Amino acid sequence: MSAQQWRLDAVSNNLANVDLNGYKRDEAVHKAFPEMLMRRFNDDGVYLMPFGSMDTAPIVGKIGMGVEQNEYYTSFSQGALKETTNPFDLALEDKGFFTVQTPQGERYTRNGAFVLGKEGYLETKDGYPVLGEKGPIQVKQNNFTIDAQGRVWVNEEFQNDPHRLISMEENTWKKTTLLDSLKVVNFEQPRYLAKQGNSRWADTETSGPAQVIPEAQRPKVRQGFVEGSNVNPVTEMVQMIEINRAYENNSKMIQTHDAIMGKLINEAATFR
């Protein structure tokens, strides 16, 4: 029953985050306790012989001892890409993570629903700067574009004037220059990343440190798209029904076992 409770917690969390961009579903992984051999009672005839001893108690079979929680496994399979046409929205195809700067240090995310901060920096919706390979990325609205390799291009004609507002129609991109490249990273063991909430992860000793992906191997960056969660709500609902039924069956088995044991104890007390 405890194992089913762990499974239910994982499914409930997946359903609660089904609409969170970049969310990766969790799955509760269990392992079995060691099995035990069953021998027939009152037939443990052990006798000595010249080469040692022999146990004549016949083995009836094996008995399982149930399962226990092993770990929460995070599936990093690709979520569906949703087109938004918002130039601040970014999505990664294939493996990799965006890097953001937080008060606790660098954190990593697949949630590319970014915004333009008050000081002109590309930020997450909760105000954490998105990092390029040179540091935080400062751009102007309607004056930047990000290609499939994650390179950030700006029109230097308007970039250096913070008070100059421009429109997309006005920008002719005659003096395009490379500003920076997004810091897209990956890990040796991404399954051991620590979840921080809001589709952010932190590296751990087991996952290994973040490694910037070389440009030739970098996943394709899609501007104007966001990656949805990889949670299938129908599948999760089916699993929730299965878990509830398994929990109820286990509960009934325990009640039945208690009732039988109580009856045996009462009969044993009657024959004394």
Structure tokens at 76: 């990093």
> What is the pLDDT at residue 265?
79
Percent of the chain with pLDDT over 70: 83
Query: Where does the pLDDT of residue 157 fall: very low under 50, low under 70, confident under 90, or very high at 90 and above?
Result: confident
Q: Which of 8-22, 30-44, 180-194 has the lowest mean pLDDT?
A: 30-44
Instruction: Give the chain's mean pLDDT.
Output: 84
> Which residue type, as a one-letter code, is found at position 6?
W
Encode the chain in three state secondary structure. CHHHHHHHHHHHHHHHCCCCCCCCCEEEEEEECCCEEEECCCCCCEEEECCEEEECCCEEEEECCCEEEEEEEECCCCCCEEECCCCCEEEECCCCEEEEEECCEEEEECCCECEECCCCEEECCCCCEEEECCEECECCCCCEEECCCCEEEEEHHHHCCCCCCCCCCCCCCCCEEEEEEECEEECCCHHHCEEEECCEEECCCCCCCCEECCHHHCCCEEECEEECCCCCHHHHHHHHHHHHHHHHHHHHHHHHHHHHHHHHHHHHHHCC
pLDDT at position 81 is: 94
pLDDT value, residue 5: 81
pLDDT at 257 over 80: no
CA distances for 19 relative to 13, 40, 79, 134, 235, angstroms: 12, 56, 11, 32, 15
Q: Do residues 165 and 77 lie in contact, with contact meaning Cβ atoms separated by under 8 Å? A: no
Whether residue 185 has pLDDT greater than 90: yes
Tens of pLDDT, residue by residue over 125-134, are 999 999 999 9
| Per-residue pLDDT at 264 exceeds 80 | no
How far apart CA 228 and CA 7 sit, in angstroms, is 23
Alpha-carbon separation of residue 115 from 57, 120, 264 (angstroms): 73, 9, 69
Q: Could you tell me if 199 and 110 are in contact, meaning their C-beta atoms sit under 8 angstroms apart?
A: yes
Would you place residue 115 in the very low, low, confident or very high pLDDT band (cuts 50, 70, 90)? very high
**Residue 223: predicted pLDDT:** 93
Q: What percent of the chain has pLDDT over 90?
A: 44
Query: Quick check: 235 pLDDT over 70?
Result: yes
pLDDT digits (tens, 9 = 90+) for 22-77: 999 998 887 776 777 666 555 555 655 566 656 666 666 676 666 777 778 888 99
Q: Which of 226, 120, 107, 113 is nearest to 179 (CA)?
A: 120
pLDDT tens-digit readout, 239-254? 889 888 887 877 787 7
